[in-house]
Amino acid sequence: MKKIIVLFLLFWIATRVYAFGESGQWSSGWGQGVSEYTVVTQSGDSLYIACSEDQPVSMTLSLKGKKYGTYNQQGFDLVVNGTEVQTPYDTDSRVGSNNFTYTWDALRKATRLQAKTTDGQTVDLPTKGVATALPAWGTPSLIVRQGWISDSLGPLVVATGPDVLICLSLILFILLTIRKVFTFLYYLSLTL
């Protein structure tokens, strides 16, 4: 009886693991501090997006056994609803970060999606379930670090919700307090 239960559990776990990256539709998952989003074609080609607080966003296109994008020598562009976005995963500049933000929003509304590699290959990617898999920009469930600001000013982490409002309120309070202190010092210097 124990063997049957163990086999059943192993089968159940195996089907759950396989469900991430299910063919023909977008999927999302989370593991080891990374939010993962992926789409897999019927032929096994895939687009994988990884978002975390610790590392800049990364995108990897796997096409016919070859990898393109972040951490790979060759890149790719995305064509979303007929609009081409060059290297949407390259967030090491302000323009790159803006392109990624635009691409994310466009992907959520996509009805047509294609990837073009730097060596001339193209693949049509499914759009089924993309709006469900990718959280809306600015929602608490989406945390993205973009690379362009990370070296000098720390990571740009996009998050919203009560925590952000508390932080913004605290910053405003500090700025107003500093202003009052300088105003007081100014008037104090006039009286001396």
pLDDT tens for each residue of 120-146: 999 999 999 999 999 988 777 777 777
The overall pTM is greater than 0.75: no
How far is the C-alpha of 51 from the C-alpha of 35, rounded, in Å? Answer: 5
In a domain, 101, yes or no: yes
pLDDT of amino acid 157: 45
In a domain, 95, yes or no: yes
Number of structural domains found in the chain: 1
pLDDT of amino acid 154: 39
How far is the C-alpha of 70 from the C-alpha of 59, rounded, in Å? Answer: 6
In a domain, 10, yes or no: no
pLDDT tens, 4-54?
554 444 444 444 444 457 889 999 998 888 999 999 999 999 999 998 888
* DSSP assignment of 46-105: EEEEEE-SSS--EEEEEETTEEEETTSSS-EEEEETTEEES-TT--SSHHHHHHHHHHHH
In a domain, 152, yes or no: yes
In a domain, 150, yes or no: yes
Query: What per-residue string of b and e applies to 136-145 under the rule 16 or more CB within 10 Å gives b?
Result: eeeeeebbbb
In a domain, 98, yes or no: yes
How far is the C-alpha of 146 from the C-alpha of 158, rounded, in Å? Answer: 9
C-beta atoms surrounding 18 within 10 Å: 10
pLDDT tens, 58-103?
999 999 999 999 999 999 999 999 999 999 988 888 888 888 989 9
How far is the C-alpha of 132 from the C-alpha of 5, rounded, in Å? Answer: 33
Among 47, 35, 59, CA closest to 143? 35
In a domain, 189, yes or no: no
In a domain, 57, yes or no: yes
| Domain hosting residue 140, numbered range | 21-160
Which conformational region is residue 168 in: left (phi greater than 0), alpha (psi within -120 to 50 degrees), or beta? alpha
Of the ranges 158-162, 167-171, 179-183, the best mean pLDDT one: 179-183
